[in-house]
Amino acid sequence: MGYGEEKTLAGERDKGIVYLVGAGPGDPKLITVRGLECLKRSDVVVYDRLASPRLLRHLKPGAEKIYVGKLPDRHTMKQEEINQLLVDLALQGKNVTRLKGGDPTIFGRVGEEAELLRANGVEFEIVPGITSAIAVPAYAGIPVTHRDLASSLSIVTGHESPDKLDKSIHWDKVTNATGTLIFLMGVAKIGYIAEQLIRHGKRADTPVALIRWGTRVEQRTIVGTLESIERIVKEANFQPPAVIVVGDVVLQREKLQWYERKPLFGVRVLVTRARSQASELADLIEELGGEPCEYPVIDIREPSEPAKVQALRDAFEQAERYDWICFTSVNGVDYFFRWLRRFGIDIRRFNKARIAAVGPKTAEALADRGLAVEELPAKFQAEGLLEQLEDKLAPGQIALLPRGDLAREVLPRELEARGLQTVQADVYETALADTQDDQALEWIRERQIHVVAFTSSSTVANLLEILRRNGIDDPVAALNGVDIASIGPLTTQTAEAAGLQVTIEPQEATIASLIEALTQHQASKLV
Protein backbone atom coordinates (compact mmCIF):
# COMPACT_ATOMS: atom_id res chain seq x y z
CA MET A 1 0.00 0.00 0.00
CA GLY A 2 1.40 3.37 -0.97
CA TYR A 3 1.57 6.52 1.16
CA GLY A 4 -1.33 8.09 -0.71
CA GLU A 5 -3.59 5.11 0.03
CA GLU A 6 -2.63 5.16 3.72
CA LYS A 7 -3.46 8.87 3.90
CA THR A 8 -6.85 8.27 2.29
CA LEU A 9 -7.77 5.55 4.77
CA ALA A 10 -6.63 7.67 7.68
CA GLY A 11 -8.79 10.51 6.44
CA GLU A 12 -11.79 8.20 6.19
CA ARG A 13 -11.23 7.09 9.77
CA ASP A 14 -11.43 10.72 10.86
CA LYS A 15 -15.15 10.49 10.15
CA GLY A 16 -17.56 8.56 12.28
CA ILE A 17 -20.17 6.11 11.10
CA VAL A 18 -23.93 6.54 11.50
CA TYR A 19 -26.09 3.54 12.39
CA LEU A 20 -29.72 4.06 11.40
CA VAL A 21 -31.27 1.62 13.86
CA GLY A 22 -34.82 0.39 14.30
CA ALA A 23 -35.49 0.13 18.05
CA GLY A 24 -38.56 -2.06 17.62
CA PRO A 25 -42.10 -1.28 18.76
CA GLY A 26 -41.44 -0.34 22.40
CA ASP A 27 -40.46 -3.37 24.46
CA PRO A 28 -36.67 -2.85 24.81
CA LYS A 29 -36.01 -6.57 24.39
CA LEU A 30 -37.44 -6.47 20.87
CA ILE A 31 -34.45 -4.58 19.47
CA THR A 32 -32.29 -6.73 17.20
CA VAL A 33 -28.92 -8.08 18.29
CA ARG A 34 -27.21 -5.92 15.65
CA GLY A 35 -29.11 -2.84 16.78
CA LEU A 36 -27.98 -3.36 20.36
CA GLU A 37 -24.38 -3.83 19.22
CA CYS A 38 -24.48 -0.49 17.39
CA LEU A 39 -25.98 1.23 20.41
CA LYS A 40 -23.26 -0.06 22.73
CA ARG A 41 -20.41 1.11 20.51
CA SER A 42 -21.74 4.61 19.76
CA ASP A 43 -20.42 7.91 21.07
CA VAL A 44 -23.79 9.62 20.53
CA VAL A 45 -27.39 8.39 20.31
CA VAL A 46 -30.02 10.53 18.58
CA TYR A 47 -33.44 9.20 19.60
CA ASP A 48 -37.16 9.94 19.58
CA ARG A 49 -40.02 9.18 21.97
CA LEU A 50 -41.05 5.92 20.30
CA ALA A 51 -37.75 4.30 21.30
CA SER A 52 -37.75 2.79 24.80
CA PRO A 53 -35.75 4.96 27.23
CA ARG A 54 -34.48 1.76 28.84
CA LEU A 55 -32.37 1.11 25.74
CA LEU A 56 -30.27 4.14 26.63
CA ARG A 57 -28.89 2.24 29.62
CA HIS A 58 -26.82 0.16 27.21
CA LEU A 59 -24.74 3.18 26.18
CA LYS A 60 -21.08 3.17 27.10
CA PRO A 61 -20.00 5.58 29.86
CA GLY A 62 -19.80 9.16 28.66
CA ALA A 63 -21.93 8.64 25.56
CA GLU A 64 -24.04 11.65 24.60
CA LYS A 65 -27.85 11.48 24.37
CA ILE A 66 -29.75 13.85 22.08
CA TYR A 67 -33.56 13.83 22.06
CA VAL A 68 -35.15 14.85 18.76
CA GLY A 69 -38.55 13.26 19.21
CA LYS A 70 -41.79 14.63 17.92
CA LEU A 71 -45.08 15.05 19.71
CA PRO A 72 -48.47 15.48 18.01
CA ASP A 73 -48.62 19.18 18.94
CA ARG A 74 -44.98 20.16 18.45
CA HIS A 75 -41.76 19.14 16.75
CA THR A 76 -38.66 19.23 18.88
CA MET A 77 -36.42 19.32 15.80
CA LYS A 78 -37.32 19.50 12.11
CA GLN A 79 -36.39 16.51 9.96
CA GLU A 80 -33.94 18.60 7.91
CA GLU A 81 -32.20 19.63 11.14
CA ILE A 82 -31.98 16.00 12.27
CA ASN A 83 -30.43 15.05 8.92
CA GLN A 84 -27.78 17.75 9.28
CA LEU A 85 -27.16 16.88 12.93
CA LEU A 86 -26.24 13.32 11.97
CA VAL A 87 -23.81 14.61 9.35
CA ASP A 88 -22.23 17.13 11.72
CA LEU A 89 -21.72 14.55 14.48
CA ALA A 90 -20.13 12.05 12.11
CA LEU A 91 -17.82 14.71 10.63
CA GLN A 92 -16.63 15.34 14.19
CA GLY A 93 -15.37 11.76 14.20
CA LYS A 94 -18.16 10.40 16.38
CA ASN A 95 -19.92 7.09 15.90
CA VAL A 96 -23.64 7.81 15.98
CA THR A 97 -26.75 5.69 16.46
CA ARG A 98 -29.95 7.22 15.13
CA LEU A 99 -32.49 5.26 17.16
CA LYS A 100 -35.99 5.14 15.69
CA GLY A 101 -39.13 3.41 16.89
CA GLY A 102 -40.18 0.35 14.90
CA ASP A 103 -38.38 -0.14 11.61
CA PRO A 104 -36.54 2.88 10.15
CA THR A 105 -37.65 2.14 6.58
CA ILE A 106 -41.39 2.15 7.34
CA PHE A 107 -42.50 5.80 7.56
CA GLY A 108 -39.22 6.49 9.36
CA ARG A 109 -37.76 8.89 6.76
CA VAL A 110 -34.53 6.96 6.86
CA GLY A 111 -34.06 7.55 3.14
CA GLU A 112 -33.72 11.30 3.66
CA GLU A 113 -31.17 10.85 6.42
CA ALA A 114 -29.15 8.32 4.44
CA GLU A 115 -29.14 10.48 1.29
CA LEU A 116 -27.58 13.45 3.09
CA LEU A 117 -25.03 11.20 4.80
CA ARG A 118 -24.00 9.76 1.44
CA ALA A 119 -23.83 13.25 -0.11
CA ASN A 120 -21.38 14.27 2.63
CA GLY A 121 -19.25 11.15 2.34
CA VAL A 122 -20.35 9.74 5.70
CA GLU A 123 -20.48 5.97 6.05
CA PHE A 124 -23.81 4.62 7.31
CA GLU A 125 -25.58 1.34 8.00
CA ILE A 126 -29.33 0.71 8.06
CA VAL A 127 -30.27 -1.76 10.78
CA PRO A 128 -33.84 -3.04 10.35
CA GLY A 129 -36.15 -3.19 13.34
CA ILE A 130 -39.32 -5.08 14.22
CA THR A 131 -42.09 -2.91 12.83
CA SER A 132 -44.94 -1.88 15.08
CA ALA A 133 -47.30 -2.67 12.20
CA ILE A 134 -46.86 -6.38 12.92
CA ALA A 135 -45.53 -6.59 16.48
CA VAL A 136 -48.12 -4.37 18.16
CA PRO A 137 -51.13 -6.34 16.85
CA ALA A 138 -49.34 -9.55 17.86
CA TYR A 139 -49.03 -8.26 21.45
CA ALA A 140 -52.78 -7.57 21.38
CA GLY A 141 -53.49 -11.14 20.25
CA ILE A 142 -54.12 -10.20 16.60
CA PRO A 143 -52.13 -11.97 13.86
CA VAL A 144 -52.08 -9.68 10.82
CA THR A 145 -52.55 -12.66 8.49
CA HIS A 146 -54.54 -15.84 9.00
CA ARG A 147 -55.04 -18.80 6.72
CA ASP A 148 -58.82 -18.53 6.83
CA LEU A 149 -59.21 -14.77 7.22
CA ALA A 150 -56.48 -12.80 5.46
CA SER A 151 -53.62 -13.79 3.18
CA SER A 152 -52.24 -10.29 2.59
CA LEU A 153 -51.92 -6.92 4.28
CA SER A 154 -51.31 -3.26 3.50
CA ILE A 155 -49.46 -0.80 5.74
CA VAL A 156 -50.71 2.74 5.30
CA THR A 157 -49.82 6.04 6.95
CA GLY A 158 -52.76 7.74 8.60
CA HIS A 159 -50.85 10.79 9.78
CA GLU A 160 -51.63 13.12 6.91
CA SER A 161 -54.53 15.57 6.65
CA PRO A 162 -57.63 14.25 4.80
CA ASP A 163 -56.77 16.01 1.54
CA LYS A 164 -53.23 14.59 1.59
CA LEU A 165 -54.58 11.15 2.49
CA ASP A 166 -56.81 11.26 -0.58
CA LYS A 167 -53.82 12.14 -2.75
CA SER A 168 -51.50 9.47 -1.31
CA ILE A 169 -54.05 6.67 -0.87
CA HIS A 170 -56.12 5.14 -3.64
CA TRP A 171 -59.01 4.21 -1.39
CA ASP A 172 -60.76 2.01 -3.92
CA LYS A 173 -57.65 -0.08 -4.53
CA VAL A 174 -56.53 -0.24 -0.86
CA THR A 175 -60.01 -1.15 0.35
CA ASN A 176 -60.50 -4.08 -1.98
CA ALA A 177 -57.00 -5.35 -2.69
CA THR A 178 -55.94 -6.79 0.65
CA GLY A 179 -57.25 -8.76 3.57
CA THR A 180 -55.84 -6.74 6.49
CA LEU A 181 -55.28 -2.99 6.59
CA ILE A 182 -52.77 -1.51 9.04
CA PHE A 183 -52.83 2.26 9.58
CA LEU A 184 -49.98 3.87 11.49
CA MET A 185 -50.34 7.23 13.22
CA GLY A 186 -54.01 7.58 12.34
CA VAL A 187 -55.90 7.98 15.63
CA ALA A 188 -56.88 11.59 14.97
CA LYS A 189 -58.18 10.66 11.49
CA ILE A 190 -59.97 7.44 12.49
CA GLY A 191 -63.43 8.79 11.58
CA TYR A 192 -62.32 9.87 8.12
CA ILE A 193 -60.46 6.61 7.51
CA ALA A 194 -63.50 4.53 8.51
CA GLU A 195 -65.77 6.70 6.35
CA GLN A 196 -63.58 6.23 3.27
CA LEU A 197 -63.27 2.47 3.74
CA ILE A 198 -67.06 2.07 4.01
CA ARG A 199 -67.62 4.37 1.03
CA HIS A 200 -65.26 2.25 -1.09
CA GLY A 201 -66.72 -1.13 -0.27
CA LYS A 202 -65.77 -2.30 3.21
CA ARG A 203 -68.64 -3.66 5.31
CA ALA A 204 -69.75 -1.28 8.06
CA ASP A 205 -69.43 -4.14 10.55
CA THR A 206 -65.79 -4.87 9.60
CA PRO A 207 -63.86 -5.35 12.89
CA VAL A 208 -61.39 -2.64 13.89
CA ALA A 209 -58.84 -2.54 16.73
CA LEU A 210 -56.70 0.30 18.00
CA ILE A 211 -53.65 -0.58 20.12
CA ARG A 212 -51.97 2.26 22.00
CA TRP A 213 -48.34 2.02 23.13
CA GLY A 214 -48.24 -1.61 22.06
CA THR A 215 -45.67 -3.96 23.66
CA ARG A 216 -45.24 -1.52 26.57
CA VAL A 217 -46.65 -1.45 30.08
CA GLU A 218 -49.11 1.25 28.97
CA GLN A 219 -50.56 -0.93 26.19
CA ARG A 220 -54.28 -0.42 25.80
CA THR A 221 -56.58 -1.95 23.19
CA ILE A 222 -60.08 -0.98 22.07
CA VAL A 223 -62.19 -2.87 19.55
CA GLY A 224 -65.18 -1.87 17.44
CA THR A 225 -66.34 -1.82 13.83
CA LEU A 226 -65.86 0.69 11.04
CA GLU A 227 -69.30 2.02 11.86
CA SER A 228 -68.72 2.41 15.61
CA ILE A 229 -65.00 2.97 16.08
CA GLU A 230 -64.96 6.78 15.93
CA ARG A 231 -67.53 6.98 18.71
CA ILE A 232 -65.64 4.42 20.81
CA VAL A 233 -62.37 6.32 20.38
CA LYS A 234 -63.98 9.60 21.49
CA GLU A 235 -65.76 8.04 24.47
CA ALA A 236 -62.55 6.39 25.62
CA ASN A 237 -60.51 9.57 25.01
CA PHE A 238 -58.11 7.29 23.19
CA GLN A 239 -54.88 9.14 22.36
CA PRO A 240 -51.98 8.44 19.99
CA PRO A 241 -49.64 6.79 19.32
CA ALA A 242 -51.59 3.73 18.23
CA VAL A 243 -51.72 1.11 15.50
CA ILE A 244 -55.05 0.63 13.73
CA VAL A 245 -55.96 -2.84 12.47
CA VAL A 246 -58.90 -3.26 10.08
CA GLY A 247 -60.11 -6.73 9.10
CA ASP A 248 -61.54 -10.00 10.31
CA VAL A 249 -58.21 -10.93 11.95
CA VAL A 250 -59.25 -8.61 14.80
CA LEU A 251 -61.72 -11.31 15.88
CA GLN A 252 -58.78 -13.56 16.80
CA ARG A 253 -58.07 -11.31 19.77
CA GLU A 254 -60.78 -13.00 21.85
CA LYS A 255 -58.89 -16.30 21.64
CA LEU A 256 -55.26 -15.20 21.29
CA GLN A 257 -54.76 -12.51 23.92
CA TRP A 258 -51.61 -13.34 25.83
CA TYR A 259 -49.63 -10.26 26.83
CA GLU A 260 -52.49 -8.44 28.53
CA ARG A 261 -53.29 -11.60 30.52
CA LYS A 262 -49.89 -11.81 32.19
CA PRO A 263 -50.17 -11.38 35.97
CA LEU A 264 -48.11 -8.18 36.15
CA PHE A 265 -49.33 -6.63 32.89
CA GLY A 266 -49.64 -2.87 33.22
CA VAL A 267 -47.44 -2.69 36.34
CA ARG A 268 -44.28 -0.58 36.40
CA VAL A 269 -42.01 -1.47 39.34
CA LEU A 270 -39.22 0.73 40.66
CA VAL A 271 -36.32 -1.61 41.45
CA THR A 272 -34.03 0.00 44.03
CA ARG A 273 -31.39 -2.72 44.41
CA ALA A 274 -27.75 -2.15 43.52
CA ARG A 275 -27.19 -2.39 39.77
CA SER A 276 -25.13 -5.56 40.19
CA GLN A 277 -28.07 -7.28 41.91
CA ALA A 278 -31.08 -5.81 40.11
CA SER A 279 -31.19 -8.19 37.16
CA GLU A 280 -32.76 -11.14 39.00
CA LEU A 281 -35.72 -9.08 40.24
CA ALA A 282 -36.04 -7.16 36.95
CA ASP A 283 -36.06 -10.36 34.88
CA LEU A 284 -38.82 -11.91 37.00
CA ILE A 285 -40.95 -8.76 36.68
CA GLU A 286 -40.53 -8.75 32.90
CA GLU A 287 -41.30 -12.46 32.62
CA LEU A 288 -44.66 -11.82 34.31
CA GLY A 289 -45.56 -8.94 32.00
CA GLY A 290 -44.51 -6.00 34.17
CA GLU A 291 -41.94 -3.34 33.45
CA PRO A 292 -38.99 -2.95 35.81
CA CYS A 293 -37.58 0.54 36.17
CA GLU A 294 -34.09 -0.03 37.51
CA TYR A 295 -33.17 2.84 39.81
CA PRO A 296 -30.26 1.63 41.96
CA VAL A 297 -29.99 3.65 45.16
CA ILE A 298 -27.15 1.75 46.79
CA ASP A 299 -23.61 1.24 45.58
CA ILE A 300 -21.83 -1.86 46.88
CA ARG A 301 -18.04 -1.72 46.81
CA GLU A 302 -14.87 -2.90 48.51
CA PRO A 303 -13.50 -0.82 51.39
CA SER A 304 -10.55 1.22 50.17
CA GLU A 305 -9.19 2.86 53.32
CA PRO A 306 -5.79 1.31 54.19
CA ALA A 307 -6.77 0.75 57.84
CA LYS A 308 -9.91 -1.19 56.84
CA VAL A 309 -8.01 -3.27 54.28
CA GLN A 310 -5.35 -4.09 56.89
CA ALA A 311 -8.05 -5.10 59.38
CA LEU A 312 -9.49 -7.49 56.81
CA ARG A 313 -6.06 -8.94 56.10
CA ASP A 314 -5.49 -9.52 59.80
CA ALA A 315 -8.89 -11.25 60.12
CA PHE A 316 -8.27 -13.51 57.13
CA GLU A 317 -4.75 -14.43 58.23
CA GLN A 318 -6.28 -16.03 61.33
CA ALA A 319 -8.10 -18.58 59.15
CA GLU A 320 -7.08 -21.61 61.21
CA ARG A 321 -8.59 -20.20 64.45
CA TYR A 322 -12.24 -19.96 63.39
CA ASP A 323 -14.89 -22.44 64.51
CA TRP A 324 -17.63 -20.68 62.54
CA ILE A 325 -17.99 -18.49 59.47
CA CYS A 326 -21.42 -16.85 59.47
CA PHE A 327 -22.61 -15.38 56.18
CA THR A 328 -25.70 -13.15 56.23
CA SER A 329 -25.95 -12.21 52.53
CA VAL A 330 -24.91 -13.15 49.03
CA ASN A 331 -22.79 -9.99 48.95
CA GLY A 332 -20.95 -11.24 52.02
CA VAL A 333 -20.13 -14.46 50.17
CA ASP A 334 -19.04 -12.71 46.98
CA TYR A 335 -16.77 -10.21 48.68
CA PHE A 336 -15.35 -12.81 51.08
CA PHE A 337 -13.99 -14.70 48.09
CA ARG A 338 -12.76 -11.51 46.43
CA TRP A 339 -10.63 -10.79 49.48
CA LEU A 340 -9.36 -14.37 49.56
CA ARG A 341 -8.04 -13.86 46.03
CA ARG A 342 -6.71 -10.41 46.87
CA PHE A 343 -4.74 -11.69 49.89
CA GLY A 344 -3.74 -14.99 48.25
CA ILE A 345 -5.32 -17.06 51.01
CA ASP A 346 -6.34 -20.66 50.34
CA ILE A 347 -9.90 -21.47 51.46
CA ARG A 348 -8.61 -24.77 52.85
CA ARG A 349 -6.96 -22.87 55.68
CA PHE A 350 -10.47 -22.45 57.12
CA ASN A 351 -10.82 -26.25 57.41
CA LYS A 352 -11.77 -26.07 61.11
CA ALA A 353 -14.72 -23.73 60.53
CA ARG A 354 -18.34 -24.76 60.14
CA ILE A 355 -20.40 -22.66 57.72
CA ALA A 356 -23.64 -20.90 58.69
CA ALA A 357 -25.85 -18.91 56.32
CA VAL A 358 -28.92 -16.69 56.55
CA GLY A 359 -31.31 -17.39 53.68
CA PRO A 360 -31.40 -19.90 50.81
CA LYS A 361 -29.76 -17.52 48.30
CA THR A 362 -26.76 -17.12 50.59
CA ALA A 363 -26.57 -20.89 50.99
CA GLU A 364 -26.84 -21.29 47.21
CA ALA A 365 -23.95 -18.85 46.66
CA LEU A 366 -21.84 -20.94 49.02
CA ALA A 367 -22.90 -24.21 47.39
CA ASP A 368 -21.81 -22.80 44.02
CA ARG A 369 -18.32 -22.58 45.53
CA GLY A 370 -18.42 -26.09 46.93
CA LEU A 371 -19.24 -25.18 50.52
CA ALA A 372 -22.05 -26.89 52.44
CA VAL A 373 -23.85 -25.03 55.22
CA GLU A 374 -25.41 -26.03 58.49
CA GLU A 375 -29.20 -26.30 58.58
CA LEU A 376 -30.97 -23.26 57.16
CA PRO A 377 -33.03 -21.20 59.65
CA ALA A 378 -36.77 -20.97 59.19
CA LYS A 379 -36.54 -17.19 59.60
CA PHE A 380 -34.20 -15.66 57.02
CA GLN A 381 -32.56 -13.22 59.42
CA ALA A 382 -29.99 -13.25 62.22
CA GLU A 383 -32.51 -14.19 64.92
CA GLY A 384 -33.53 -17.28 62.96
CA LEU A 385 -29.92 -18.35 62.51
CA LEU A 386 -29.30 -18.10 66.25
CA GLU A 387 -32.36 -20.21 67.01
CA GLN A 388 -31.34 -22.87 64.51
CA LEU A 389 -27.75 -23.16 65.77
CA GLU A 390 -28.49 -22.77 69.49
CA ASP A 391 -27.43 -26.30 70.48
CA LYS A 392 -24.30 -26.20 68.30
CA LEU A 393 -22.79 -23.02 69.69
CA ALA A 394 -20.38 -23.25 72.60
CA PRO A 395 -18.54 -20.73 74.78
CA GLY A 396 -14.98 -20.12 73.69
CA GLN A 397 -15.67 -20.69 70.01
CA ILE A 398 -14.54 -18.04 67.53
CA ALA A 399 -16.82 -16.84 64.73
CA LEU A 400 -15.84 -14.84 61.64
CA LEU A 401 -18.63 -12.61 60.34
CA PRO A 402 -17.98 -11.47 56.72
CA ARG A 403 -20.59 -8.77 56.14
CA GLY A 404 -21.29 -5.18 55.12
CA ASP A 405 -20.51 -2.06 57.08
CA LEU A 406 -24.23 -1.39 57.74
CA ALA A 407 -25.01 -4.87 59.06
CA ARG A 408 -27.15 -5.15 62.18
CA GLU A 409 -25.46 -5.79 65.52
CA VAL A 410 -27.88 -8.55 66.55
CA LEU A 411 -25.71 -11.48 65.43
CA PRO A 412 -22.38 -10.46 67.00
CA ARG A 413 -24.11 -9.26 70.17
CA GLU A 414 -26.03 -12.50 70.68
CA LEU A 415 -23.06 -14.71 69.79
CA GLU A 416 -20.92 -12.89 72.34
CA ALA A 417 -23.74 -13.21 74.90
CA ARG A 418 -23.42 -16.98 74.44
CA GLY A 419 -19.71 -16.84 75.17
CA LEU A 420 -18.37 -16.85 71.61
CA GLN A 421 -15.69 -14.49 70.35
CA THR A 422 -16.61 -12.67 67.13
CA VAL A 423 -14.40 -11.15 64.47
CA GLN A 424 -16.43 -8.74 62.36
CA ALA A 425 -15.00 -8.38 58.85
CA ASP A 426 -16.61 -5.61 56.82
CA VAL A 427 -15.87 -7.15 53.42
CA TYR A 428 -17.99 -4.58 51.56
CA GLU A 429 -19.42 -1.11 52.03
CA THR A 430 -22.88 0.18 51.14
CA ALA A 431 -22.93 3.77 49.92
CA LEU A 432 -25.48 6.14 48.45
CA ALA A 433 -25.52 5.54 44.70
CA ASP A 434 -24.86 8.34 42.24
CA THR A 435 -28.08 7.64 40.36
CA GLN A 436 -28.89 9.76 37.31
CA ASP A 437 -32.09 8.73 35.58
CA ASP A 438 -34.35 11.54 34.38
CA GLN A 439 -36.92 9.08 33.05
CA ALA A 440 -37.39 7.39 36.44
CA LEU A 441 -37.71 10.76 38.18
CA GLU A 442 -40.29 11.88 35.62
CA TRP A 443 -42.32 8.70 36.19
CA ILE A 444 -42.21 9.27 39.96
CA ARG A 445 -43.31 12.89 39.62
CA GLU A 446 -46.11 11.97 37.21
CA ARG A 447 -47.18 9.01 39.38
CA GLN A 448 -46.49 6.51 36.63
CA ILE A 449 -44.64 4.18 39.00
CA HIS A 450 -47.10 1.63 40.36
CA VAL A 451 -44.90 -0.29 42.82
CA VAL A 452 -41.65 0.49 44.64
CA ALA A 453 -39.71 -2.64 45.65
CA PHE A 454 -37.40 -2.37 48.66
CA THR A 455 -35.00 -5.22 49.38
CA SER A 456 -33.24 -3.79 52.43
CA SER A 457 -33.51 -0.98 54.93
CA SER A 458 -30.72 0.90 53.17
CA THR A 459 -32.70 0.97 49.91
CA VAL A 460 -35.51 2.74 51.77
CA ALA A 461 -33.32 5.42 53.34
CA ASN A 462 -31.26 5.93 50.20
CA LEU A 463 -34.22 6.27 47.83
CA LEU A 464 -35.79 8.98 49.97
CA GLU A 465 -32.47 10.83 50.17
CA ILE A 466 -31.79 10.60 46.43
CA LEU A 467 -35.29 11.91 45.66
CA ARG A 468 -34.66 14.88 47.97
CA ARG A 469 -31.36 15.60 46.24
CA ASN A 470 -33.18 15.58 42.90
CA GLY A 471 -35.66 18.24 43.89
CA ILE A 472 -38.49 16.15 45.34
CA ASP A 473 -38.78 17.91 48.70
CA ASP A 474 -41.33 15.49 50.17
CA PRO A 475 -40.51 12.05 48.75
CA VAL A 476 -42.96 10.28 51.06
CA ALA A 477 -45.81 12.40 49.65
CA ALA A 478 -44.53 11.75 46.12
CA LEU A 479 -44.91 8.01 46.77
CA ASN A 480 -48.35 8.34 48.33
CA GLY A 481 -50.73 5.94 46.59
CA VAL A 482 -47.90 3.82 45.20
CA ASP A 483 -47.80 0.21 46.38
CA ILE A 484 -44.76 -0.32 48.60
CA ALA A 485 -43.29 -3.83 48.44
CA SER A 486 -40.91 -4.78 51.27
CA ILE A 487 -38.84 -7.95 51.26
CA GLY A 488 -39.22 -8.55 55.00
CA PRO A 489 -40.17 -7.23 58.46
CA LEU A 490 -36.93 -5.32 59.08
CA THR A 491 -37.24 -3.43 55.82
CA THR A 492 -40.92 -2.86 56.55
CA GLN A 493 -40.06 -1.32 59.95
CA THR A 494 -37.67 1.11 58.25
CA ALA A 495 -40.18 2.05 55.56
CA GLU A 496 -43.03 2.61 58.00
CA ALA A 497 -40.80 4.60 60.34
CA ALA A 498 -40.08 6.89 57.39
CA GLY A 499 -43.81 7.39 56.80
CA LEU A 500 -44.37 4.94 53.95
CA GLN A 501 -47.27 2.49 54.01
CA VAL A 502 -46.14 -1.03 53.13
CA THR A 503 -48.81 -2.91 51.19
CA ILE A 504 -46.83 -5.97 50.08
CA GLU A 505 -44.63 -8.19 52.26
CA PRO A 506 -43.84 -11.83 51.44
CA GLN A 507 -43.84 -14.70 53.93
CA GLU A 508 -40.16 -15.35 53.25
CA ALA A 509 -37.48 -12.71 52.74
CA THR A 510 -36.50 -13.84 49.24
CA ILE A 511 -36.82 -12.31 45.78
CA ALA A 512 -38.95 -15.23 44.57
CA SER A 513 -41.32 -14.83 47.52
CA LEU A 514 -41.47 -11.06 46.97
CA ILE A 515 -42.51 -11.59 43.35
CA GLU A 516 -45.14 -14.11 44.42
CA ALA A 517 -46.57 -11.64 46.94
CA LEU A 518 -46.60 -8.87 44.32
CA THR A 519 -48.41 -11.14 41.87
CA GLN A 520 -51.03 -12.09 44.47
CA HIS A 521 -51.52 -8.44 45.36
CA GLN A 522 -52.16 -7.51 41.73
CA ALA A 523 -54.58 -10.42 41.33
CA SER A 524 -56.55 -9.24 44.36
CA LYS A 525 -57.08 -5.86 42.67
CA LEU A 526 -58.81 -7.57 39.75
CA VAL A 527 -61.32 -9.46 41.89
**Residues designated as active site:** 48, 70, 185
Cβ partners under 8 Å of residue 47, min gap 6: 23, 55, 56, 65, 66, 67, 68, 69, 98, 99, 100
Number of other residues whose CB lies within 10 A of the CB of residue 446 = 8
Which of 299, 411, 296 has its CA nearest to residue 357?
A: 411
Number of other residues whose CB lies within 10 A of the CB of residue 512 = 14
* One-letter amino acid of 75: H
Task: Determine if the peptide bond prior to 241 is cis (ω within 30°).
Answer: yes
Contacts 24+ apart (CB under 8 A), 338-346: 338/302, 338/427, 339/302, 339/312, 339/427, 340/316, 343/312, 343/313, 343/316, 343/317, 345/316, 345/317, 345/319
CA–CA distance, 392 with 52 (Å, rounded to integer): 54
DSSP state of 376: P
Number of other residues whose CB lies within 10 A of the CB of residue 135 = 22
DSSP state of 381: S
Cβ partners under 8 Å of residue 310, min gap 6: none
CA-to-CA dists, residue 449 to 37, 159, 408, 410, 506, angstroms:
29, 31, 31, 35, 20
